[in-house]
Amino acid sequence: MSGESQSVGVGIVGAGIYLPRYRIDADEIREAWGRFRASGVRSKAVAAADEDSLTMAADAATRALNATEVEAREIRCLAFGTTTPPLAEEDPTPRLGEFLGVPADATRRFLTGSTRAGTQALLTAVGTGALPALVVAADCPRGEPDSPEGHAAGAGAAAFVLTEGGATRLAEHAEYAVDYPGTRFREVGSDRVEGLGVSAYDRQAFVECVGGAVGELGEDADPDTVALHAPDGKLPYRATKVLGVDTDAIASVTPVHEFGDLGAASPLVALATALETGHERILTVGYGSGSGADALLFDGDSAAVERSEAESEQVTYAEYLRLRGELTGDPPAGGGAAVSVPSWRRTREARYRLVAGQCPECDALTYPPEGACRACHTLGEFERVALPRRGEVETVTTTSPGGAPPEFAQFGAQGGDFAVAIVAFERDGQRVSMPVQVVDTAPEAVAAGDTVEATIRRIYTQEGVTRYGTKVRLVGE
């Protein structure tokens, strides 16, 4: 496909980056196995026990919206790309839209099955013509523990808000695809990616497809930097000759050395990093096994970027395996709180977006927004109002996996002890308090008076359906 100029002037107005707090160094894995098989990866990001591609997508998308003046209710297209959706069959974009407050009649696009899914989501959103658009890519690939894919596998997400006349304009795009089976694949019924491990073959597929896509843009692309898909810290630099750039043009923005293989999110996290560091002409290239590549050339002023700011926490290899679910057994049978999916769905506004009820008689807030007013006990229709995403810890206690209800046992076994706090949220002088789990920190680090912010995480899974809802994390000074 030849390069196409974007005369409509669609561009990025804001971006968000989310990278999980936990990290594992390459040396930890090398000590466990006696070798480390992910070339050029120094450390990688590790998703928490209650995180998945959908929760990371929600976090990155929230940050992208925060970086702009666009509100979720204005979004006309929501596109999501990942190779690791929560379920093999089910469109996750309706739930992602509910997390964020995107209108039900907005156009939805879901891309999966290839690490090109991130760049394909960007191109697909532009192609719909429905603006403003919100594009998200999130991934947490897995491989066998002692495989190159397993050693490289990281986790992260990036999101972009697209508008007519956005600061960073999509100038041209092209794609190229040719048959190279076996470079990277995941068999039906498996959650582990693998490859044939033929280095020369993998390199040939990557270089031909990346070079072919970029070549279709013409000779005057001349980028400041290249946001290139990076399954490890060595392969992307094999393409410098066909791209006509030096290694610094790739290394300055690639996330792979610090955060590992981010799958479909890899080139988009690199793109957001390039925007964050002030680059104005950015060549973004997504590559997927099979094999094919997308090349997108952006130019113009840099868009605003909001990045997750939590201080990273190093984990041991044993902790890493537990977080990944490699060391946990089966959940206990029976005895849990049987909350039906229809019942859970009826409270989704409150669970996902902290929607409370404001009493028409006394203005007091009630959460969730049902029943009688907690202050004056009036029965009637509440006004639905969104609570702020930040609140204050009033009291806190520690819960161990053994003391948690059975439905929480699986995540508890992976994540260990956790803090449960009573958190007060304030709106227009009215306060409402609720119990909520504190994530991404040791229980002893949480105290009354701490500021926390709401985030979406997995709560538990029953009948094959994961319940998602609000948890909180500490806000740094």
Alpha-carbon distance of 216 to 336, in angstroms, equals 57
| pLDDT higher than threshold 90 for residue 162 | yes
Tokens read off for 413: 């076994």
**pLDDT tens string 375-392:** 999 998 999 999 999 999
Question: pLDDT value at position 325?
Answer: 83
Alpha-carbon distance of 48 to 61, in angstroms, equals 18
Question: pLDDT value at position 143?
Answer: 95
Question: pLDDT value at position 418?
Answer: 87
Q: Give the length of the chain.
A: 477
User: Burial letters for 322-336: b for 16+ Cβ neighbours within 10 Å, e otherwise?
Assistant: bbbeeebeebeeeee
> pTM for this structure?
0.93
Question: pLDDT value at position 350?
Answer: 94
Across the chain, what does the average pLDDT equal? 92
**Pairing relationship of beta strands 22-25 and 43-46 according to DSSP bridges:** antiparallel
Torsion angle (degrees, nearest 10) of CA 244, 245, 250, 253: -120
Q: How confident is the model at residue 362 (pLDDT cuts 50, 70, 90)?
A: very high
Q: How confident is the model at residue 438 (pLDDT cuts 50, 70, 90)?
A: very high
**pLDDT tens string 307-328:** 997 789 999 999 999 998 887 6
Helices marked H in 375-461 — which ranges?
409-415
Question: pLDDT value at position 3?
Answer: 46
Question: pLDDT value at position 338?
Answer: 66
Alpha-carbon distance of 238 to 369, in angstroms, equals 56
Q: How confident is the model at residue 198 (pLDDT cuts 50, 70, 90)?
A: very high
| pLDDT higher than threshold 80 for residue 79 | yes
| pLDDT higher than threshold 60 for residue 180 | yes
For the chain, which residues make up each domain, given as ranges?
4-323, 341-474
DSSP conformation letters of 39-91: TT--EEEE--TT--HHHHHHHHHHHHHHTSS--GGG--EEEEE-S--SSSSS-
| pLDDT higher than threshold 60 for residue 263 | yes
Q: How confident is the model at residue 130 (pLDDT cuts 50, 70, 90)?
A: very high
Q: Is the peptide bond prior to 132 cis by the omega test (within 30 degrees of 0)? A: yes
Question: pLDDT value at position 380?
Answer: 85
DSSP conformation letters of 227-271: EE--SSSSGGGGGHHHHT--HHHHHTT--HHHH-B-GGGHHHHHH
Mean pLDDT for 341-346 is 89
Percent of the chain with pLDDT over 90: 83
Mean pLDDT for 281-303 is 95
User: Cβ atoms within 10 A of the Cβ of 376, count?
Assistant: 11
Q: How confident is the model at residue 476 (pLDDT cuts 50, 70, 90)?
A: confident
**pLDDT tens string 98-127:** 999 999 999 999 999 999 999 999 999 999
Question: pLDDT value at position 337?
Answer: 60
CATH 3.40.47.10 fits 4-323, yes or no: yes
Asked whether the beta carbons of 203 and 238 are under 8 A apart, the reply is yes
Question: pLDDT value at position 340?
Answer: 86
Question: pLDDT value at position 186?
Answer: 95
**pLDDT tens string 235-251:** 999 999 999 999 999 99
The gap between the terminal CA atoms of the chain, to the nearest Å, is 49
Tokens read off for 378: 């009036």
